[in-house]
Amino acid sequence: MAATTRPATARPTAAPPAIAPPTAVVEALLGVHRVVVGGLGAALAAHGASLDQWRVLRSLTETGCTMGELTKALDIPPASLTRIVDSLASNALVYRRPDLSDRRLVVIHLSANGQQRLTRLDDAAGAYLGAVREQLGAEVFDRLGVVLDSARRAI
């Protein structure tokens, strides 16, 4: 019987990627969450802000938002969001105004002080996330962001 040979140009087929069991996916997500959120929280805390305060300030960059819009966009419980906004308002980083079309609603706006503070916080967050991106590698970091965003939207 003649031996079978491969053409010189053929490459062995790569094994398909292993599929992680659901529990491994959960543990991986929790582990990454702890490290990234903890590190980002520490980077922001060094500048006197919490992760949620930064998220609220970022949400107000384009235009003002009602508390209901912020609650929905940021997935922060209303009572917690009220405490965060009260803290930001007491530090003159945001201000409240009645909605022009519905006086029952209050719109939260970013103040000039808030914009300056947000710029500093964005710099701190960007430095931390840049270090994470470098550690993971740009391709993995970017792909991870796309996959996680896709999963968030689908769930």
Does the structural domain 47-154 have CATH classification 3.30.450.30? no
Domain boundaries, the chain: 47-154
Q: Which of 58, 60, 56, 100 is closest to 82 using CA atoms?
A: 56
> SS3 letters for 75-109?
CCCHHHHHHHHHHHHHCCCEEEEECCCCCCCEEEE
Question: What's residue 35's pLDDT?
Answer: 94
pLDDT tens-digit profile of 132-146?
999 999 999 999 999
The tens place of each residue's pLDDT in the chain, 155 residues long, gives: 555 554 455 555 666 667 778 888 899 999 999 999 999 999 999 999 999 999 999 999 778 899 999 999 999 999 999 999 999 999 999 999 998 888 889 999 999 999 999 999 999 999 999 999 999 999 999 999 999 999 989 98
